[in-house]
Amino acid sequence: MGFFSRLFEGMKKTKKSFGEKLKYIFTGNDLDESFFEELEFVLVSSDIGAETTEYIIEELKEKAKERKIKKTDDCKQLLKEIMVDILQENPAQPLTYPCVIMVLGVNGVGKTTTIGKLAKKFTDEGKKVVLAAADTFRAAASDQLEVWANRAKVKIITNEHGSDPAAVVYDSIASAKAREADVLLIDTAGRLHNKAILMEELKKISRVVQQQWPEAEYHKMVVVDGTTGQNAVNQVDLFNQAIELTDVTITKLDGTSKGGFLLSLAKDYDVAIRYVGVGETAEDLLDFEAKDFVDAIM
């Protein structure tokens, strides 16, 4: 399956809820206040969030006036343009190598799976990859990562259950440098004894990366579960406050009709949406493209 069809398949549920609702309002009638009211309702009920919805409606009104649009049908393209602009506000810049990507997020969102997918993707691109199993808290975490490492045939650095995650990161940087690796992917715990300890741990890992490998481009990428809609935005907020995120990956978009929340995420945070997960296999991680995303949902 090609890139767009994979995305299209993955976004089916969001398209079904969002795109179908839109169908009933882009009817070809005159552009009037009731159209904007209906559109507002559709946007809010598609997890786009009240503030972002308001922004979209205002932009749409303004641009429709500028371009002298009189019929609802002719607004559809305009709506797409506004949505693409929002999603492109803070685009993910191409990676430069070597780079370190610390992957973080609450438990069960898909961190380890995303790293597995990335290990394959980078390897396929001819990059040398090292994995750091820095989730030493959950007993089976490193075994799970090891399965992905074997699949992608990449080096993995592990340590005993309960050991210091920052020490694993320290060792993995030494290994990555020695092998002249292009990419170091760090898997972290989703749950520690409490949230404050988790944030401290992530900060400690960050210090090790910055001290031990300052030449490497460093990404702090949060993973959020797309099925949680606006709650995913709250998680980005929480982690961003603690450690200043650079990137976000949204997983499980294949299982949700709430994909609209990406718009409020893009609008409210200076964090680049880098990848989206649309399934459980290694191929189901896509570079995020604003235009393709909008085309896939409406």
Ligand X SMILES: Nc1nc2c(ncn2[C@@H]2O[C@H](COP(=O)(O)OP(=O)(O)OP(=O)(O)O)[C@@H](O)[C@H]2O)c(=O)[nH]1
* Residues of the shown chain interacting with ligand X in the complex, contacts defined by CB under 6 A: 105, 107-113, 135, 138, 141, 190, 251-252, 254-255, 277-280, 284
Instruction: Write the DSSP symbol of residue 228.
Output: G
Q: Which of ligand X, Mg ion, none binds 252 (CB below 5-8 Å, type-dependent)?
A: ligand X
What minimum distance in Å lies between the beta carbon of 198 and ligand X? 10
What minimum distance in Å lies between the beta carbon of 39 and ligand X? 29
Number of residues located near Mg ion, criterion CB under 5 A: 2
CB 213 within 8 A of CB 98: yes
Rounded CA-CA distance 131/203 in Å is 19
> Judged by CB, which is closer to Mg ion: 111, or 155?
111
Task: Out of 14, 72, 112, 158, name the contact with Mg ion by CB under 5 A.
Answer: 112
Question: Which region, judged by CB under 5 A, interacts with Mg ion, from 19-27, 112-120, 123-131, 229-237?
Answer: 112-120
> Judged by CB, which is closer to Mg ion: 112, or 158?
112
CA of 253: how far to CAs of 8, 30, 210, in Å? 11, 35, 32
Question: Which amino acid, one-letter code, is at 159?
Answer: N
> Judged by CB, which is closer to ligand X: 52, or 256?
256
Q: Which of Mg ion, ligand X, none binds 280 (CB below 5-8 Å, type-dependent)?
A: ligand X
Q: Which of Mg ion, ligand X, none binds 46 (CB below 5-8 Å, type-dependent)?
A: none
Other Cβ atoms less than 10 A from the Cβ of 161: the count is 14
Rounded CA-CA distance 284/281 in Å is 5
Helix ranges (H only) for the chain are: 3-10, 12-14, 20-23, 33-44, 50-66, 76-87, 111-124, 141-152, 165-178, 195-212, 230-243, 261-268, 290-297
Q: Which residues on adjacent β-strands are paired with residue 227?
A: none
Kindly state the greatest CA–CA separation across the chain: 67
What minimum distance in Å lies between the beta carbon of 108 and ligand X? 5
What is the x/- site pattern for Mg ion, positions 52-91, by CB under 5 A?
Answer: ----------------------------------------
Q: Which of 110, 102, 98, 109 has the alpha carbon at shortest distance from 131?
A: 102
Question: Which region, judged by CB under 5 A, interacts with Mg ion, from 111-119, 156-164, 231-239, 277-285?
Answer: 111-119
What minimum distance in Å lies between the beta carbon of 65 and Mg ion? 50
Residue 227 interacting with Mg ion (CB under 5 A): no
